[in-house]
Structures are given as structure tokens and as C-alpha cells.
Structure 1
Amino acid sequence: MAAAMLEKTTNEDGQEHPARGLLIVMTGASGVGKGTLRERWLKDQDVFYSVSRTTRQARAGERPGTDYHFVTEAEFLTELEGGGFLEHAEFAGNRYGTPRGPIEAALERGQDVILEIEVLGAVQVRQQAPDAVLIFIMPPSLSELRRRLEGRATETGEQIERRLTRAREEILEAHNFDYVVMNDDLDRAVLDMHAIQRAERLRSARLSAGRLGGIVGH
């Protein structure tokens, strides 16, 4: 899919400027396939993917600045105290946070911003940005989720059981999200993500007064 052209609105002086982008949050249990789905969905799109900061150590194959910004505990706490995070959480003794500044700058440029974060982080984003679009990625079943986690071969059986317990709790929160996408068929899930993005761009509440005025004025 070709990169989307940035929509434009007209301000009070009659000058065009990019329409504000969408803030889209995707979340779901570990192992549900969020990363693969995101890469396929965003292929060839001109969007801003927010890279989180974390205090945990990089795993094999992870690229600093692409998968995460790896920082020290002290660096994380300094940014947190300065109000630099849109959301933050702690899991398994490690801290995770979404930097606020780059997101706001991208939205003002008219780019859609994509966050791939934990469920609790998504709730925090909704509190600070009520117009954010929240999408929950649902596994076909817990047994399939177990198979995927075991297939990664990166965690012990005890760690997998903890993730499955957490997944059950997270799934119970899915009704609080704007959309639920079942990731049992990757191609269909990608189409669903495109449909959501398009539908949100077409919502009347997102049409600016300047754009509406330009239409009725002709």
C-alpha cells in the first residue's frame, strides 16, 4: 500500500497546514504477534512509530533505537520526574516508558503515531489523550498463545505460565478498547488494521471547522 498523503486543513488566515495525525495504540498479550502484525500493517506508510525507553537489557537481535531505547535506571527516573513520558509501567523488575515530545511533534506534522505498549500503558494514554484510538490484539486461544510463547524458546516454563496468567487478566480488559482484532489469520488482521485506520480518518468528529467551512463555502 502506498504511503498515505497527509491531509490538510485551513486555518483562520486561509493558510493550509497538515491535519493533526491519529494517535493509535495497539496492545495485547505477549506472544500474540503484535510486532509481525505491526510491520505488515505499516509497510510503506508514512507514520511515526514511537520507540519506548526501557531499563531492561537488550535481547539477542534487538536493535537499540529501533526496538527500544535502552537506558539506565537513573536516566529513566530523571525523564520520568521531568514529565517526559506519556505513559510508563514496570514489569518483571524493568521500567518501560513512552517519550512524550517526539509523539506530539509527529502529530502536529500530520503523521499518524503508532504505539505498541502494555495494556496498563494504553489505559494511561487514554487518560491523557482521550482521542487516542485503542486497539486490542486478541489471540485465537490461550492454548495457541502458549504454543507461540513456547516456540520462541526465550523463557522458562515458569515465566511462560506467568505470561499466560497475565494474558487472561488482560483479555478481560479488551471490552475497554475501541477495537478488538483477532490475530488468527495475519492477512485478515492486517486488513482489519487498515480498515480501522481509514474509518478513524473519516469520523466526522475529526473534520476540522476550517475544512467544513471550505466545503460549505463553495
Structure 2
Amino acid sequence: MQSISTLTLSELPLFRGLTVEDLTKLKCHLHLKTVSAGANINLVGQSDQALYIILSGVVHLQIDQLNGTIVILATLEPGEIIDNLGMTDKLEYPTSAVAREDTTLLWMNYSVFREHLNTMPVLAFNLIGMMTNRLHVMYKKLQLLAAREVHERVAGHLIALAEKYGQQRDNGEVYVPRRFTQSELADHVGASRVRVNQAVALFKRCRYISIDKHLYITIYDVAALAAIAGYIGAPLYNF
């Protein structure tokens, strides 16, 4: 399988700021792996002795509940690490990591990675920063799931989509150029598809949002969704 260049490695958040010498050392221990859409990269309860970095594609960190429903805790994209919190202490994974689309990964044996952490302070600093960001995302997700009503959770998730992907137009609308099915929205907010469909239909009737034929969302009234989600007085999003 084709190897990866040190230039490409230097552009990844985990390896940013490392010297060419350090990148060359790391490159010797990194391997490429491809997984198909829908494949499990790791399963809850397992202990994987490898570090994974996403090069392309999208991966969901999710919890499979006893009643058969899924709750998506985080959407990981290129440059992000899969479950680096569990990996650091060689704990069992508390979540499943599932490829949303065909995905290419870099992986390294955990024990080798730990040795490099001990000798490369910049690598350790980058890892801490990524772990902090992950905790922030998880905290916001817990806030969302704590909402009692499904329509409140849906409104909060739409605001989260605006924060991460939104493109603000001159008229104040926010366009989210990412495809999200209502089944996926249901998985994000921990509710049934029927209840999510009802919330989405309500927001469309109120002209808070619209969804085009590509399943891309336009938000017309961010303030209204923020109020429903309980974000009054808080920053809505930053572009």
C-alpha cells in the first residue's frame, strides 16, 4: 500500500509543528487502512492497541442503546483521532466508531505512539489540545441530550450544524451544505425518527428552516431555534 509523505503528515493537527526528523521517525510506524461505509472501526467494550487518524471520510462515535436505538456523540472528520481518550490509558472503548462513508485511516501501534509521546513534546501538546476539543464537543452534546423535549434537542442540533458547517448569507440566513437525513438527525438527538420528523415539520411550517432536494438545510431564523433550544443570551455561533 502506498505510503504517506511527511508533508501530508505535517498538515495533520496531531503532527503540526513537528520537525522533519520527527515526522520521518513517525512515518516509519504509520500504516494506511481503508474501511467501507457502515464498517465498525472499533466496537464498544473492546480494547484496541492502535491510534487511528482520519485521512478522508467521516466517522461517527456512537452509543448503541439496549432498545436498539443509536445516539451519535460526535462526528469525526479528516485530521481527527478516533477515541483518543480511551486510547491514551489503554481503556476499553465506551463507544463504537462507525464509518459514515468510505474512509481512509492512518494507524500506529499504541505502545510505539506512547514512546514517541515521551520524546516529542510538541506531539504530546497537540494530543492534549485535541483531547480538550473532544471533551468540549462531548460536553455540548450532553447539554443537548439533557433537553426534555425532542423539538428542543432538534433545535439545538440545528444550531450545532450552523456552528460547524454554516455559511451565513447577506440576508442573515444560514446555509448548511451537508446532507443530513432525518434518520441521522434522530440518531444525533437520541429520539425516534417519527418524533424528529414532527419537530422538523413544525420548524418548516414556522419558516424557521427549509430542506432542499439534496437534504441540505437552510436556517432562516437562528434566534428562534436558539430560543427553543434554551440558548437565549448565549453566543449562537462563530464563523
What's the TM-score once normalised by structure 2's chain length? 0.23
